[in-house]
Amino acid sequence: MGPGDSEQPSSAKGSAAAPVPVASDRGKGPEPFPASTASAVSVPPSYRRALGNRPFLLLWLAQLVSQSGDFIFEVALLWLVLEITGSVFDVGLVVAATIVPTVLLGPFLGVYIDRWDHRRTLLGTNLIQGVVVAALSGLVVAGDATLPGLLVLVLALASGATVVRTTTAAYVPSVVEVSDLPPANGLLSVSGSMNQIVGLSLGGVFVALLGVALPIEYDALTFFAAAALVLAIPRGRRPAPQAAAPPNRRFRQELAEGFAFIRSHRFMIEILLLGLVVNFFATGVFALLAPFSRYVLHGGSAVYGFLGAFVAAGSLVGATAMGRVDTRESAGHYLFAGGVSIGAAILLLGFVTTVPLALGLMAVVGVALAVTNLPITIVIQAKVPRPLLGRVLGSFSAVIVAGGPLGPIFAGWLAERTSIETFFLLSGGVFVAVLAGGAVTMTSLRTVRY
């Protein structure tokens, strides 16, 4: 739950009917643009207008290409851990490593993302991630992959993913109108879902037939291809140079401004309270899907891939629908309805032992994730002033997933001492109780509008 997932959230320039020039390729100072206001928006959302915007189109294609390898890589990585260690706990440990950088680095990276040129940040990060994945493929081919080595490389990749996720979310409001934030975010979510469907489905089959090395090598190539697409994004205008403050003082002030904005908006505090609880259990649930496929459903990597693919298929349906919905008056209602639905599906998953039923419930989870997350991401993008967006997103994401790294570790520990099903039952019950309670008590979030 929360902006960006996905894992990981201002006004746009230009007319509503034409592509908007890239305005967020910044110099060293923050961009002097005001926050968006709902009164400035008068046209309905348009997928066609968003895709006609060349900077956004290239940004979307870069994500589409990069993520085509990410989900194949995910299957290969978790199956590699199971092959090396055979431990459910170690799988949880690796999944936790993918979350740690968001918690530890998110607020600090947000300061620099607000300062840095977004285009160059995405370009450099994709290149670095490609090199890291290529190094991992070399270790696998050489037979030198170990759990400690995997953890180091996963931490590096997750750090890069945190940069890309926050930078992309901060970049989008600079190249599309506020009225087109729903379709723009919907397209980003749809492309992720499409890649998840194909990547996890094919990834499971490829790993079963070819092993883990080739899927990892393909992922490295997709990072380099994504970098080439980012390079093709037109350079935007830069703001005039500003007088520099003392570096240490400036950094501390900018970091504090992001947290101060969050504290001053009650609906964001309420999202954080919900997110801290549900993300702890949600990360645990997804960390156990690979062991669930093997030990409960008695399948292999292909079954795990299809579970993820059905989540993505549901997200594809949900995101496509939400991209056409004007949520300016109802974002909070969608969050609570979607969250309760996620919890109910996870709860039922604790009783399932057959593949078809598990796939159906995963599809429900996918639809509900899109219904929950997209409206809130759009609210944050629309209400946060553009010069603050990177800091707010980085700090917000760090806090909302603060318990996330412990979730997979706890899930692995509890599953080994009780059962995987027990953790699903516990998680689903907590989801339903927390979201239903929030719908009654959190009036600011329930009635938030932009």
Give the whole-angstrom CA distance, residue 311 versus residue 345.
11
Query: Please, how many CA atoms are within 13 Å of residue 157, restricted to the half-sphere of its CB?
Result: 28
Q: Please, is 113 exposed, middle or buried when counting C-beta atoms within 10 Å of its C-beta (0-12, 13-18, 19+)? A: buried
Beta-carbon contacts of 244 under 8 Å, excluding residues fewer than 6 positions away, are: 28, 250
Tokens linked to 430: 């907590």
Give the whole-angstrom CA distance, residue 421 versus residue 285.
10
Give the whole-angstrom CA distance, residue 175 versus residue 55.
7
Taking only the tens of pLDDT, the chain with its 450 residues reads: 544 443 333 333 333 333 323 333 333 333 333 334 444 445 777 788 888 888 899 999 998 888 888 878 887 888 888 888 878 788 878 888 887 888 788 788 888 888 888 889 999 999 999 999 888 888 887 778 888 888 888 899 889 988 998 888 888 888 888 777 888 888 887 777 777 777 777 777 777 777 777 788 888 899 999 999 999 988 764 443 344 445 555 778 888 888 889 989 999 999 999 988 888 999 899 889 988 998 899 887 778 878 888 888 898 888 888 878 888 888 899 999 999 999 999 999 999 999 999 999 999 999 999 899 888 888 888 888 878 888 888 888 888 877 777 888 899 899 989 999 999 999 999 999 999 999 999 999 999 988
Closest Cα partner for 59 from 133, 10, 118, 15?
Answer: 118
Beta strand extents in 226-267 (DSSP E only): none
> Measured in whole angstroms, how far is the alpha carbon of residue 329 from the centre of its chain?
24
Tokens 């003392």 identify what position? 246
So what's the pLDDT on residue 249?
54
Tokens linked to 25: 């390729």
Give the whole-angstrom CA distance, residue 444 versus residue 205.
46
- Domain layout of the chain by residue ranges: 47-236+248-446
Give the whole-angstrom CA distance, residue 237 versus residue 21.
8
In three-state secondary structure terms, 42 is coil
DSSP state at residue 352:
-
So what's the pLDDT on residue 248?
54
Question: Residue 446, Cβ neighbours under 10 Å: how many?
Answer: 18
Closest Cα partner for 189 from 50, 390, 359, 52?
Answer: 50
Question: Residue 271, Cβ neighbours under 10 Å: how many?
Answer: 28
Give the whole-angstrom CA distance, residue 137 versus residue 73.
10
Closest Cα partner for 310 from 281, 266, 352, 280?
Answer: 352
Closest Cα partner for 174 from 59, 327, 21, 394?
Answer: 21
CATH of 47-236+248-446, one of 3.40.630.30, 2.60.260.20, 1.10.1660.10, 1.20.1250.20: 1.20.1250.20
Tokens linked to 41: 């928006």
